[in-house]
Amino acid sequence: MKKISLLLLGILLSSGFIFAGGLTHNSNQSAAWSRLLSRGATVDIDAVFYNPAGLTKLGDGFHISISSQSIFQTQTITSTFPFLNDQKYTGKVTAPVFPSVYLSYNKGKFAFSFGFMPMGGGGSAKFDRGVPMMEVPIASLVPAFADQGVTGYTVDMEFEGTSVYWGLQAGVSYEINDNLSVFAGARYVMAKNTYEGYIKDITLIRDEDFGGPIRADTMMTELSQFTAGAAAAFGVTATQMDPLVNSPLGEMSFDDAITASAGDPLTQATLIALRDGLTLLGTENAGSLTVQQGQGAYVSYSEGYAAQSAQLAAGAALMGDQEGDIKQTGSGITPIIGANLSFMEDDLNIGLRYEFKTSLELENEVKDNKGFIIGMNPDGTPIYMFPDGEKTNADLPAMLSVGVDYKIIDPLRISATYHSYFDKGTGWAEDADPKEVDNNFWELGIGLEYNINDNFLISGGYLHAHTGVNQYYQSNLSFSLTSNTFAVGGAYRINDTFRINLGTYLTSYDKQEYPMSYEVMGSGTIIDYTESYLKETFAVAIGVDISLGAK
């Protein structure tokens, strides 16, 4: 018997919490980015992350940046599955504190830098009533048990996850000449995901003539016991037919055998009961079957009811109350190289950064078998969505950043940044079957800064991020959408030591809709429907840049 999977919850990956950037990277790593959206060629202190080779443009001394964002995202999933109580599901993703800290010590031609930032994730997602993939299997019980008087259902469910990939970065920048600087460094990534939730009190609403509301697992257990009894009874019937099958009547059709046994009323009545029993079970032209074929039919009915009983028993286990308490952890190292080119007396600056692929595995730590049962093996043991100790490939893709800053006139500077994330080269994408990534994720940002005076500037920016995944990647709890982001903000220089950055941005996403289908309880009945995905993100940021001893 194939394993049964009635309640597919899906896998919640860190990308469900990514706010800006690729499938697994956050690119919103400073308050200055939050007001401009393009920092690929910056020579300010947040160049520790965006353009580390450009740090040599800072004066000698210590340079520090401390910033944080408050990020709020709404995820909306709509399913047209016809038996759902409510087709719209809303998840709230929040990151009240999203910090980034950068430090650079400059001396002569060298800059020694350190950074701390949430490379991926950084928030928590909460779905107060779950998501469609959790509820569709429950809703499918309505058509599956319509002949048992089921007209609806109720369920209490909730799912919450947190995810953060902290990054600790260090490196050295060196100025080869006035036009060229280079960088070499690495980032240590520490990943942690937690998932908690429950599904409980799944109740089927039945007509009063069938007994009224009943817990789904109770009803399925009762039906399992009934079908198990039927399987046993048909097995006994088949065994008791041995004398008939081994007699001359065994090669006759039921109708001919009934006629031939007219002189033996008991045998004739038995044959009539066996023939009519097959007719009641749905066998067409039962009277034309030989008695031997009839025995085979009863064996088949016995095996079929036994399989149905096992399926119902497994379904009862899945429809019982469940809790989830899972933690995933892992770590990896990202080598980073970069170069900075300056021309036209630094009016034109070009920043290049390449991050190599980060090999990363996440290991499950599950408390008290609370890993969410999603199916049953033929031997009756549960199949967990998160098996304790299991490792999952979660490589971070290599990425390339190219940035250009140009001072158009003295108070006005334009910036453009292009990022390409090489998602197709990660282990999880290469091993996926079918393939989940058609093209690599890329983003292009353009920003403008205008210095109102020596101390105060205003800025704004636009960022287009284009995903390359297909339907096979998308899930209710991890989906990637093409987006457009707009930002405004400014910076105020208090004195030669302190500068304040303020920014806010709003991201809108392109809605995606996909055809879906669901088979009802292994019956062969397929229900076609659609699911659509949408997000919206809003954030505010504040940061301070500090220069100590700079010349």
DSSP per-residue codes, 179-209: SEEEEEEEEEEEEEEEEEEEEEEEEEEE-GG
Give the per-residue pLDDT at 252.
94
Question: Residue with structure tokens 């006005």?
Answer: 412
| CB within 8 Å of 228: residues ≥ 6 apart | 305, 306, 309
- Whether the upstream peptide bond of residue 434 has omega within 30° of 0, thus cis, is yes
What distances in angstroms separate CA 431 from CA 32, 193, 496, one per listed residue?
Answer: 38, 22, 53
User: Quick check: is 330 in a domain?
Assistant: yes
User: Quick check: is 166 in a domain?
Assistant: yes
- Domain tally for the chain? 1
Q: Could you give the CA distance from residue 479 to residue 99 in angstroms, rounded to a whole number?
A: 24
Evaluate whether 375 touches 319 at the Cβ level (below 8 Å): no
- Phi/psi for 21 (5° steps) reads 125, -155
Evaluate whether 193 touches 121 at the Cβ level (below 8 Å): yes
What's the pTM value of the predicted model, to 2 decimals?
A: 0.84
In CATH, what number is assigned to the domain containing residue 505?
Answer: 2.40.160.60
Question: Residue with structure tokens 């093209």?
Answer: 439
Neighbours of 366 (CB within 10 A): 21
Give the per-residue pLDDT at 314.
85
Evaluate whether 350 touches 341 at the Cβ level (below 8 Å): yes
Q: Could you give the CA distance from residue 112 to residue 67 in angstroms, rounded to a whole number?
A: 20
Give the per-residue pLDDT at 12.
34
User: Quick check: is 258 in a domain?
Assistant: no
Question: How is residue 477 annotated by DSSP?
Answer: T
Q: Could you give the CA distance from residue 90 to residue 160 in angstroms, rounded to a whole number?
A: 12
User: Quick check: is 110 in a domain?
Assistant: yes
Domain extent, residue 393, equals: 14-211+312-548
Secondary structure of 370-398 as H, E, C letters: EECEEEECCCCCEEECCCCCCEEECCECC
Helix (H) or strand (E) holding 164: strand 150-175
Helix (H) or strand (E) holding 302: helix 291-318
User: Quick check: is 421 in a domain?
Assistant: yes
Give the per-residue pLDDT at 18.
52
In 126-283, alpha helices (H) = 132-139, 141-144, 216-240, 242-245, 254-260, 265-280
Q: Which of 426, 267, 244, 254 is nearest to 334 (CA)?
A: 426
Angle at 131 between CA 125 and CA 136, to 5 degrees: 165
User: Quick check: is 272 in a domain?
Assistant: no
DSSP-assigned beta bridge partners for residue 466: 442
Evaluate whether 499 touches 35 at the Cβ level (below 8 Å): no
| CB within 8 Å of 256: residues ≥ 6 apart | none
Evaluate whether 145 touches 312 at the Cβ level (below 8 Å): no
User: Quick check: is 299 in a domain?
Assistant: no
In the chain, the amino acid numbered 493 is: R
Q: Could you give the CA distance from residue 178 to residue 346 in angstroms, rounded to a whole number?
A: 9
User: Quick check: is 202 in a domain?
Assistant: yes
Q: Could you give the CA distance from residue 119 to residue 214 in angstroms, rounded to a whole number?
A: 48
**What distance, in Å, lies between the first and last C-alpha atoms of the chain?**
76
Give the per-residue pLDDT at 412.
96
Give the per-residue pLDDT at 550.
57
Structure tokens at 37: 């959206």
Question: How is residue 340 annotated by DSSP?
Answer: E
Q: Could you give the CA distance from residue 466 to residue 139 in angstroms, rounded to a whole number?
A: 35
Evaluate whether 55 touches 173 at the Cβ level (below 8 Å): yes
Neighbours of 247 (CB within 10 A): 14
Q: Which of 341, 323, 313, 442 is nearest to 385 (CA)?
A: 323
Give the per-residue pLDDT at 405.
97
Evaluate whether 235 touches 302 at the Cβ level (below 8 Å): yes
Give the per-residue pLDDT at 1.
28
Q: Identify the burial level of 406 via C-beta atoms within 10 angstroms of its C-beta, where 0-12 means exposed, 13-18 middle and 19 or more buried.
A: middle
Q: Could you give the CA distance from residue 241 to residue 267 in angstroms, rounded to a whole number?
A: 11
Q: Which of 164, 54, 183, 74 is nearest to 116 (CA)?
A: 164
Q: Could you give the CA distance from residue 24 to residue 62 in angstroms, rounded to a whole number?
A: 31
Instruction: Encode the chain (551 residues) as per-residue pLDDT tens digits.
Output: 233 333 333 333 333 445 566 778 889 999 999 999 999 999 999 999 999 999 999 999 999 999 999 999 998 999 999 999 999 988 888 888 999 999 999 999 999 999 999 998 767 777 777 788 888 989 999 999 999 999 999 999 888 888 889 999 999 999 999 999 999 999 999 999 888 888 899 999 999 989 999 999 999 999 999 999 999 999 999 999 999 999 999 999 999 999 999 889 999 999 999 999 999 999 999 999 999 999 999 999 999 999 989 888 888 888 889 888 999 999 999 999 999 999 999 999 999 999 999 999 999 999 888 888 877 777 778 888 889 999 989 899 999 999 999 999 989 999 999 999 999 989 888 888 889 999 999 999 999 999 999 999 999 999 999 999 999 888 877 788 999 999 999 999 999 999 999 999 999 999 999 999 998 877 788 999 999 999 999 999 999 999 997 54
How many CA atoms lie within 13 Å of 40's alpha carbon, on the beta-carbon side?
Answer: 26
